[in-house]
Structure 1
Amino acid sequence: MKVACVGGGPASLYFSILMKLRDPSHDITVYERNPAGATYGWGVTYWGGLLDKLRAGDPESARAISEESVRWSDGVAHIRGATTVHPGDQGHGIGRRRLLQILGVRAASLGVRLEYRNGIAGRSNLPDTDLVVAGDGVNSVLRRDHVDHFGTRITHGRNKYIWLGTTKVFDSFTFAFVETAHGWIWCYGYGFSDGHSTCVIECSPETWTGLGLDRASESDGLALLERLFAEPLDGHPLIGRSTSDGAAQWLNFRTLTNRTWHRDNLVLIGDAAHTTHYSIGAGTTLALEDAITLARTLHEHARLDDALTAYGRERRAEILSLQSAARYSAQWYENLPRYVDLPPAQMFALLGQRHSPLLPHVPPRLYYRLDQAAGSLESLRAFKRWLGPKLARTLHARRS
């Protein structure tokens, strides 16, 4: 099979690796518009279950990713001078640039051609191939040419956020909430190497404009944010993306869905197919799982259309629960004032429950008491398991 992968992100690279391992005769080229080593973002997160899947697919790249990752198990929240620690599952962080290096080197060693500085503006720029994999992100030009066919839908979150780095190495997944005269602003930080961490900062649009962050240059905005988060940063600087015009890279998160994931021999993968809010840390995991499923279905089905149909059907079903969790997680932060006056330990407990479709419809203090009781009463746990998905389906049906 001759394959063109557009976009050199984790999904395209890992897909090319898996295809070559299944059949070295596949002719695969990955086209990436940026130079080798150039990427946005700082570190990415994933959980132990992903490593198990990567080991099953390619033990060599899984071993390299594991060795280059940092780990944590606790969550820490800072608010109003109080610090709350909550044990959790083991998380992993790795620099996005390092992840791409590992996957790129492995793909090249298997015979995949990597063409950097080669942006593909549309299908007409590609050679004739059996399969085109659109891994060119949320702004996919290949998907945009057929928006009506794919049924693309994009919704924008209310809050403003900025993706930054810092030399402060967080040894736990760290939350910090700061009250200002213009409302609350908060960050989540996690380590991804021995010398750096990711620090995502978020606030309401009213707080953003009230603090002047909408008008501040990147350098002035970073200086203000460093003062606001001086305690969790422990004197370390924040690092921006240094654009040519000096503007800060504040964004509204875009949630993207598609009704179908392929058209003829063009198939969507990763952020070109779907996005989930950054607060659940699942974007890279979902992209790599897309690659695993696509490579498998292509070898399970003799007809290309059958393989791509099976891939899309399977992955859309698998990510439904995560998309729901991401939606409720984003809404929790958008409605922070509803929770911020709780005692810190209770607030942190509900922060951990932010994916629940039940939480927005129950008074927070009552939900906390029910959740604590459910921890020891099987009947209440069963009621929550039954009511949560039932409520989610009802609300989804009403929105549709």
Structure 2
Amino acid sequence: MCVKVVCVGGGPAGLYLSILLKRQDPSTEVTVYERNPEGSTYGWGVTYWRGLLDKLGEHDPESARAVAEHSVRWSDGVAHVRDGARDLMTRHRGDEGFGIGRHRLLAILAARARELGVRLEFAQEAAPGELPADADLIVAGDGLHSSLRTRDADHFGTEVRAGRNHYTWLGTTKVFDAFTFSFVQTGHGWVWCYAYGYGPEGSTCVVECAPETWAGLGLDRADEADGLALLEKLFADLLDGHPLIGRADADARPQWLTFRTLTNQRWYRDNVVLLGDAAHTTHYSIGAGTTLALEDAMALAGALREHPDLPAALAAYERRRKSELLPIQSAARFSAQWYEHLPRYIGLPPHRMFALLGQRHSPLLPHVPPRLYYGIDKAVARLDTLRRLKRWLGPKVARAAMS
């Protein structure tokens, strides 16, 4: 039984785990250390889907209601393609999606944790050697650059693989009513963005391009102001006069990154366990990072509830989450590769390109000519429709024959 739990990292995973542990046993002493001041966070909004909201409702209805209340919803996907000769748009109905401001999500979870008696320590670095020695469980929820994981990287079997494309995480005051993709051709290649609303105040815009396009446009040399001005010009039709908002480093350099996929062979050592981005990352193009972090917290809390023996609980948590993540990590890898090979798909008619965008998780797609894949996919869909119709008609025809 864990009597004293220390969580390093006050992101969604760490805060939600503290909520679940206090709900399971109010006598558990839970402290969350977050290196940043309260209310300061990176990013603008995060996305999630109906399945996560249902799970949140099962685990803690109070915080789930608050999250739902402060989220925006969409059910459409929109794709714009502009290559000089064409300026085309297609819109498709899809699954119900949600967006919420990251600040708002963290504030909701922090307030709920405090209500349950969790001790929150903001602006506390909490280096590995400074953590309470009498803690029964230490949770490394401190992200991709986790100091706890880095200290024992050989044991955890940490591997980090860098992606090819460059991307930057931006905001805008424009509120999008659908999950929106925009692809713009330049003299140096394609630039594209993913945009989604998170509240009445604005939207998130993730801009991505190949490294040769990034360098050719001068984005590798531009300061934040010049870089934003260029991107605002490229995406002027999409933004409708709204600005892009950046988050520069101290030297005013814009934050262009290459995505790093992190995996670990082992997720715990003694009483230290990895959670969220400290344990794994999945490419942002599948919009699953926050969902996976919260599901980690659910799984770890459940394992601790079901297994009084700590090593058994941590082993069960590792087995479950590694198994559940395998298809998601595969989907994320193929999704990233779809964008890295964008010229293979961008010349298709927009409705076909958008259809293959929705199929970007397929391991078969990179090996089949896009037009052929599209035709096969449509044929299979028609066959599935005919099968469902036949199953539906079967009993009706039988009853008619007997009457």
Q: Confirm or deny a common fold (TM above 0.5).
A: yes
2:41 aligned residue (39, 42, 50): 39
2:274 corresponds to 1:272: no
The answer to whether structure 1 residue 11 and structure 2 residue 17 are counterparts is no
Verify the 8 A CA contact 1:72 1:92 in the aligned structure 2: yes
The correspondence for 1:157, drawn from 159, 163, 172, is: 163
Which residue does 1:140 correspond to in 2?
146
8 A Cα contact 2:248 2:255, kept in partner: no
Is 1:250 paired with 2:256?
A: yes
Alpha-carbon separation, structure 2, partners of 1:273 and 1:126: 22
The runs of at least 4 aligned residues of structure 1 exceeding 4 Å deviation read: none
By how many angstroms is 1:378 displaced? 3.6
The answer (yes or no) to whether the contact 2:178–2:196 under 8 Å persists in 1 is: yes
Bigger radius of gyration among the two: 2
Residues 297-316 of structure 1: matches in 2 within 5 Å?
297-316=303-322
Which residue in the other structure is 1:178 paired with? Answer: 184
1:289 is aligned to 2:295: yes
Partners of 1:123 and 1:142 within 8 A in 2: no
Q: Which residue of 2 aligns with 1:319?
A: 325
Which residue number in structure 2 is paired with residue 209 of structure 1? 215
Is the deviation greater in 345-354 or in 121-130?
A: 121-130
Q: Any idea what the Cα deviations from partners look like across 1:175-212, whole Å, max 9, x if unmatched?
A: 00000000000001000011210000000000000000
Question: Alpha carbons of 1:323 and 1:150: their partners in 2 closer, same or farther (altered >3 Å)?
Answer: same
Distance in 2, matches of 1:349 and 1:27, equals 50
Question: Deviation of residue 242 (structure 1)?
Answer: 3.7
Cα deviation for residue 164 of structure 1 reads 0.2
Counterpart-to-counterpart distance in 1, 2:152 and 2:191: 39
1:67 maps to amino acid:
E
Q: Quick check: 1:65 aligned with 2:71?
A: no
State the match for 2:27 in structure 1: 25
Secondary structure (helix, strand or coil) at the match of 1:231 reads helix
Aligned to 2:204: 198
Residue 376 of structure 1 and its aligned partner are, at CA, apart by 1.3
Equivalents in 1 of 2:132, 2:171: separation in Å?
36
Percent identity over paired residues: 68
Counterpart residue identity of residue 37, structure 2: P
Contact 1:166–1:238 (Cα < 8 Å) also in 2: yes
TM-score, with structure 2 as normaliser: 0.93
2:109 paired residue number: 103
Would you say 1:358 and 2:364 are equivalent positions? Answer: yes
On the 8 A contact 1:373/1:380 being kept in 2, the answer is no
Matched with 1:75 is 77
CA offsets 1:106-127 (integer angstroms, 9 cap, x no match) = 0001000000010122244444
In the alignment, structure 1 segments of 5+ residues that lack a partner are 382-400
- Residue pair 1:262, 1:268 contacting (<8 A) in 2 also: yes
Please tell me the residue identity of whatever aligns with 1:100: L
1:260 equivalent to 2:266? Answer: yes
1:379, CA displacement in angstroms?
Answer: 11
| Separation in 1, partners of 2:271, 2:95 | 40
| Corresponding position of 2:349 | 343
Equivalent pair of 1:70/1:92 in contact (CA under 8 Å): yes
Q: Distance in 1 between matches of 2:11 and 2:49?
A: 19
Give how far 1:380 is off: 11
Q: Distance in 2 between matches of 1:170 and 1:378?
A: 33
**Paired letter, 1:311:** Y
Q: Is the 8 A contact 1:163 1:201 kept in 2?
A: yes
**What do the CA deviations read for 1:331-358 (whole angstroms, capped 9, x no partner)?**
0000001011111111111001000001
| Whole-angstrom CA distance in 2 between matches of 1:22 and 1:114 | 18
Q: 2: CA distance between counterparts of 1:250 and 1:242?
A: 9
Gaps of 5+ in 2: 388-403
2:123 alignment partner, one of 117, 128, 140: 117
**Which amino acid in the other structure matches residue 70 of structure 1?**
V
Of 236-245 and 9-18, the range deviating more from structure 2: 236-245
1:134, CA displacement in angstroms?
0.3
**SS of the counterpart of 2:281?**
coil
Which residue is equivalent to 1:49? Answer: 51
Q: TM-score, normalised by structure 1?
A: 0.94
Rounded Cα–Cα distance in structure 2 between residues aligned with 1:62 and 1:299: 21
